[in-house]
Amino acid sequence: MARLTEENVRLAQEIISRYPKARSATIPLLHLAQEQDGYVTDDAMAHIAELVGASPAEVYGTASFYEMFKFHPVGRYVINICGTMSCALMGAEDLMHHAEEKLGVRMGGTTDDGLITLERAECQAACTEAPCLQTNYRYSFRVTPESFDALVDDLRAGRLADEIPPHGVVARVRQHIPADRGAGVHAPEDVKSAPAWLDGKAAL
Amino acid sequence: MSAGGTNAFAPGFYEGNRPRIVTSRFGMEDSHSLGRYVATGGYDGLRRALARPAQEVHEEVRSATVLGRGGAGFPAGTKWGLTPQDVWPRYLVVNGDESEPGTYKDRLLMERDPHQLIEGCLIACYAAGLSQCFLYIRGEMALAQERVATALNEAYAAGYVGRNILGSSFSVDIVLHWGAGAYVVGEETALIESLEGNRGMPRLKPPYFPAAIGLYGQPTIVNNVETLSNLPWLMVNGAAAYTAIGTPTSPGTRMVAVSGHVRRPGVYEIVNGTTTFRDLLFGEGFCGGMREGRSLKAFVPGGGSAPWFLPDQLDLPFEASQVGPAGSMLGSGAVMVMDDTTDIPKAALTLTRFYAHESCGKCTPCREGGTWLERILSRIVDGKGTDADLDQLLEVGQSICPGAFPHASSERLGISAVPFPYRMNTICFVGPSAYAPVHSALTLFREEFEARVTKRVHIPVTAVGASR
Ligand SMILES: Cc1cc2nc3c(=O)[nH]c(=O)nc-3n(C[C@H](O)[C@H](O)[C@H](O)COP(=O)(O)O)c2cc1C
Ligand code: SF4
Ligand code: FES
């Protein structure tokens, strides 16, 4: 149970500064919280509420709409197997049964060692490479029982630690707008006229 | 991680001997870097745009008829012209939420050529007078987020984005934003709600047409990733070159993902308007036909929401004015192919379950109807349904979409097509999309359902108390 660390508060403020309204940063900050703790804690949501000027209930209301946010600890690796049509046509159901057996857990469950959570997911925009799965949102394509087993063995042996960060970390690269390069936010209350480059002429 | 069976850099993508507007760099290992982008003509389109008045650039895009690639197919230049006069600021929201079942193209465009997208955003902002751009990437797309973030950081440092772009009076920030997993957020008004920090539920149209009342209540243009990725090429080559490809009503190219039971599932950039489904599914250089020894049973022509087609419809081109009357839509450029081994009720269930789960719950016909459709269909698939369930499916469908629902013609069944679109009782298309696969499957393959259900004698309602 943790509020955001000092470093994350600094990052949060940088993110907030890019939006005309602070509340727009809610989802990015929830990701930051999940990155810090592996899931989204109540304390973090209360802290985010303070940062964006909302109530904790409003932040929870937003967070609970989105499937990626977890409100309880999950495995270090979350494996999402796609079960939508294209993957289903190519054997996703068999793959799911195989995965449940290999890991000894049901869909939604976490292995006893806390390493892997298995989930059923929906279309991952990789339909031509079916059946597919994501491990912490990194893809495996045209998955067979053998390649699934190899993935699990690699995860257990720590061989993919460089490629796949722990659950909560999605993108490892952050946008950074240099202070001397930014055009700045354009809030409705501050901007009342056409942008300079339209040169006074109305846009079509 | 495994690279898939095809292009090592762009898994699933095949080049072919065809015009390439948006995928020209996909075969290059470093296509996502600023260096490669600039070395291959990148940011020339922006330079050319900035050398002309914004109004002229807008006119060029309008005359090219760049159809929206997100699903609705509305021309971008026309959409930009729908903002109310003299209301400022205006925003650009880029829809990178790609999650319609079967759709796989925007992710590739973001991973393989992020600068092309960034340049497209800049051209749109310049032409339509948009003061700030928010680039919304689907939450589950880690690599796309990393590639776009890296590209933005490079582009800012090199002066392509931000203040006084390329030394001009044009200044605009592109803010990378990302979601957290919810299909319906791809709907443009839900995307805006999500970007405002809320639950991603669609808004009522009217009055909430984004071009009039969008982000923070301001005029907002929402465009798809592929739509915008066309603009750099268009600026360099001009509208005449663009419309020389394809047909007058469907010019240029479009990216299409073909998945399922074909020999070579893949992502192809095809010539719009003229390429037919037969070309795509059976042509060499495309999918090369069905899997060994199998025949085509049915296909979904335009993403999971689209009513299904049969082999009867193979000769239709990628042209909305022909696909609509034939009973379906082109949607998001996603074809899902089923061969003769396919269990049709089960296939329909994988889509209906998707839409039922993704309902945001705002409208009753979708929230309740979707769940009912899934439940009834599940019990039929599990062999526990009765023939009364078949009528019930259609009845629930009527509560979502009253009246005749579009479907394909079939020589085998002796039925003619009911044209697209449908009437609907819901705010957005998620509700109707839960019904579309059920309706298609039941209309075109009723015998597969009947073979699975128990026949029951209907007991009239007046016979209350009668024993069964
Ligand atoms: C339920 C639903 C989901 C949608 N998902 C997407 C999506 O993931 N990506 C997208 O670009 N458009 C999606 N759309 C279409 C958008 O609402 C919008 O029409 C589109 O982004 C506009 O861009 P375009 O004119 O460039 O196509 C969706 C629409 C609906 C109703
Ligand atoms: S149709 Fe479904 S997803 Fe769309 S607004 Fe209504 S309840 Fe929400
Ligand atoms: S259906 Fe599995 S990735 Fe699209």
Distance from CA of A111 to the nearest CA of B (A): 22
**pLDDT(B462) > 90:** no
Please compute the mean of the pLDDT values over residues B115-124 and round it to a whole number. 98
Q: Based on the fold, state whether residues A150 and A96 are members of the same structural domain.
A: yes
Regions of chain A with pLDDT less than 50: 204
Of B12, B54, B260, which has the smallest distance from its Cβ to A203's Cβ? B54
Size of interface A-B (CB pairs under 8 A): 282
Measured between alpha carbons, how far is B237 from B372 in angstroms, rounded to an integer? 51
Alpha carbon of B271 to those of A38, B26, B236: distances in Å?
45, 17, 19
pLDDT, tens only, B163-175: 999 999 999 999 9
Six-digit token string for A61: 């209301």
Among B187, B227, B362, B426, name the best residue to mutate to test ligand 1's pocket (greatest count of ligand atoms within 8 A of Cβ).
B187
The residue with tokens 């769940």 is B371
Q: Buried b / exposed e across A155-187, counting CB within 10 Å, b at 16+?
A: beeeebeeebbebbbbbebbbebeeebbbbbbe
**pLDDT(B335) > 80:** yes
Q: Which ligand is nearest to the CA of B231?
A: 1
- Which value does ipTM take for this structure? 0.97
pLDDT, tens only, B272-297: 999 999 999 999 999 999 999 999 99
Window A:45-104, CB contacts with B under 8 Å: 52, 54, 61-63, 65-69, 80, 83-86, 88-90
* End-of-domain residue from the set A15, A41, A63: A63
**Who's near A162: CB < 8 A, 6+ residues apart?**
none
Measured between alpha carbons, how far is B454 from B386 in angstroms, rounded to an integer? 4
Index of the ligand 1 atom closest to the CA of residue B189: 17
What pTM, to 2 d.p., does this model score? Answer: 0.96
What amino acid occupies position A86?
Answer: S
Alpha carbon of B308 to those of A126, B43, B144, B311, B438: distances in Å?
21, 41, 31, 10, 10
pLDDT, tens only, B422-452: 999 999 999 999 999 999 999 999 999 999 9
Q: Based on the fold, state whether residues A94 and A145 are members of the same structural domain.
A: yes
The residue with tokens 């929201």 is B93
Q: Based on the fold, state whether residues A52 and A81 are members of the same structural domain.
A: no
Q: What CATH number is given to the structural domain containing A51?
A: 1.10.10.1590
Whether residue A128 is contained in a domain is answered as: yes
Please compute the mean of the pLDDT values over residues B26-42 and round it to a whole number. 97
pLDDT, tens only, B380-403: 999 999 999 999 999 999 999 999
Measured between alpha carbons, how far is B78 from B67 in angstroms, rounded to an integer? 10
Q: Is the beta carbon of B202 within 6 A of some atom in ligand 1? A: no
Q: Based on the fold, state whether residues A150 and A114 are members of the same structural domain.
A: yes
Please compute the mean of the pLDDT values over residues B5-16 and round it to a whole number. 81
Domain that holds residue A109: 77-157
Q: Which ligand is nearest to the CA of B188?
A: 1
Q: Which ligand is nearest to the CA of B367?
A: 2
Q: Based on the fold, state whether residues A85 and A153 are members of the same structural domain.
A: yes
**pLDDT(B330) > 70:** yes
* End-of-domain residue from the set A122, A140, A157: A157
Please tell me the predicted confidence (pLDDT) of residue B466. Answer: 55
**Domain tally for chain A?**
2
Whether residue A195 is contained in a domain is answered as: no
Please tell me the predicted confidence (pLDDT) of residue B465. Answer: 59
Q: Based on the fold, state whether residues A139 and A91 are members of the same structural domain.
A: yes
Six-digit token string for B215: 């982000």
Q: What structural domains does chain B harbor?
A: 1-18+249-334 (3.10.20.600), 20-243 (3.40.50.11540), 343-456 (1.20.1440.230)
Whether residue A39 is contained in a domain is answered as: yes
Window A:10-49, CB contacts with B under 8 Å: 18-21, 23-28, 30-31
Measured between alpha carbons, how far is A127 from A141 in angstroms, rounded to an integer? 9
Q: How many Cβ atoms sit within 10 Å of the Cβ of residue A141? A: 21
Q: What CATH number is given to the structural domain containing A133?
A: 3.40.30.10
Whether residue A70 is contained in a domain is answered as: no
Window B:75-114, CB contacts with A under 8 Å: 80-81, 83, 85-86, 88-89, 91, 98-104, 106-107
Measured between alpha carbons, how far is A103 from A98 in angstroms, rounded to an integer? 9
Q: Based on the fold, state whether residues A40 and A97 are members of the same structural domain.
A: no
Residues of B in contact with A186 (CB under 8 A): 89, 91, 131-132
Q: Based on the fold, state whether residues A122 and A96 are members of the same structural domain.
A: yes
The residue with tokens 């929830």 is A30
Q: Based on the fold, state whether residues A85 and A138 are members of the same structural domain.
A: yes
Measured between alpha carbons, how far is A185 from A75 in angstroms, rounded to an integer? 38
Q: Based on the fold, state whether residues A40 and A89 are members of the same structural domain.
A: no
